[in-house]
């Protein structure tokens, strides 16, 4: 059933239908659960979008000596999901988490995730990393301090900012680390930092889970 829903959604997206309208139609037709709709919403894209994103994707060597804007909560949430085996490689090549949550709260995985991100940035040798976290998110100040300590430990020239609208700030950067579609659409180059930092963990591919009953 989910496979058929995917095929229909893909068909509509390739013909220019807005994702929300197409997903509502397909989801209602197949009586999909909220989790199934969330999976399709995050992972399925038109062929035109996939091609455009492919032209923006950066490799680690492209970032050596560059300034990188980092979508803090997006990267950390995705990396935590990778560690827990709850992340998936979507059609546009970016890894996204499968858990639906509007707010991020620090967990026992936060320190590990931030350290992995800092290690990755050190390997890539960016000239500077500027992290943005949503100031309204509970305990964002705690995550800011964890990030600052991790950057200092790994000798990274970095800055961590708590802001009202991280998306707005990040769109002014040339190169950004995020999997957020709205940001990807506006920037010149994008890097999947969570995938790079979590490359030693198993990450599912979208097509692998289409028939899994848990969705």
Q: Do 39 and 94 share a domain, yes or no?
A: no
Measured between alpha carbons, how far is 49 from 140 in angstroms, rounded to an integer?
32
The answer to whether the beta carbons of residues 108 and 84 sit under 8 Å apart is no
- 109-157 residue pLDDT tens: 899 999 999 999 999 999 999 999 999 998 999 999 999 999 999 999 9
Answer whether residue 208 shows pLDDT above 70.
Answer: yes
Interstrand relation of 158-163 and 67-71 (parallel, antiparallel or unpaired): unpaired
122 domain-assigned: yes
211 domain-assigned: no
Q: Do 85 and 131 share a domain, yes or no?
A: yes
Burial degree of 214 (CB within 10 A; 0-12, 13-18, 19+) = exposed
Q: Do 155 and 84 share a domain, yes or no?
A: yes
Q: Do 162 and 77 share a domain, yes or no?
A: yes
pLDDT tier, 211 (very low <50, low <70, confident <90, very high otherwise): confident
Of the candidates 25, 122, 38, the one whose C-alpha atom is nearest the C-alpha of residue 81 is: 38
Question: How many Cα atoms are found within 13 Å in the side-chain-facing hemisphere of 206?
Answer: 21
Dihedral angle at the C-alpha atoms of 120, 125, 128, 129, nearest 10 degrees?
Answer: -10
Residue 100's pLDDT is 60
86 domain-assigned: yes
Q: Do 195 and 110 share a domain, yes or no?
A: yes
- 60-109 residue pLDDT tens: 999 999 999 999 999 999 999 999 999 999 999 999 998 766 688 888 88
Q: Which domain holds residue 151?
A: 60-204
Q: Do 101 and 161 share a domain, yes or no?
A: yes
Measured between alpha carbons, how far is 21 from 26 in angstroms, rounded to an integer?
9
Q: Do 32 and 88 share a domain, yes or no?
A: no
The answer to whether the beta carbons of residues 94 and 192 sit under 8 Å apart is yes
209 domain-assigned: no
**pTM for this one?**
0.94
């Amino acid at each position: 059933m989910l496979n058929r829903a995917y095929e229909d959604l893909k068909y509509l997206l390739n013909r220019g239908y807005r994702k929300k309208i197409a997903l509502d139609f397909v989801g209602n037709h197949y009586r999909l659960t909220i989790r199934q709709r969330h999976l399709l919403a995050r992972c399925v894209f038109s062929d035109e979008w996939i091609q455009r994103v492919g032209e923006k994707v950066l490799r680690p060597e492209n970032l050596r000596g560059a300034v990188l804007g980092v979508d803090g909560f997006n990267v950390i949430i995705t990396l935590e999901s990778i560690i827990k085996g709850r992340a998936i490689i979507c059609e546009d090549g970016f890894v996204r988490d499968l858990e639906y949550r509007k707010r991020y709260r620090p967990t026992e995985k936060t320190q590990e995730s931030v350290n992995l991100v800092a290690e990755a940035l050190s390997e890539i040798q960016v000239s500077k990393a500027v992290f943005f976290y949503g100031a309204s998110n509970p305990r964002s100040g705690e995550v800011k301090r964890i990030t600052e300590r991790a950057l200092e430990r790994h000798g990274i020239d970095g800055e961590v900012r708590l802001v009202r609208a991280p998306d707005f700030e990040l769109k002014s950067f040339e190169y950004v680390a995020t999997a957020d579609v709205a940001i990807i659409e506006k920037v010149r180059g994008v890097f999947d930092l969570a995938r790079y930092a979590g490359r030693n963990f198993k990450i599912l591919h979208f097509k692998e889970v289409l028939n899994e009953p848990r969705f």
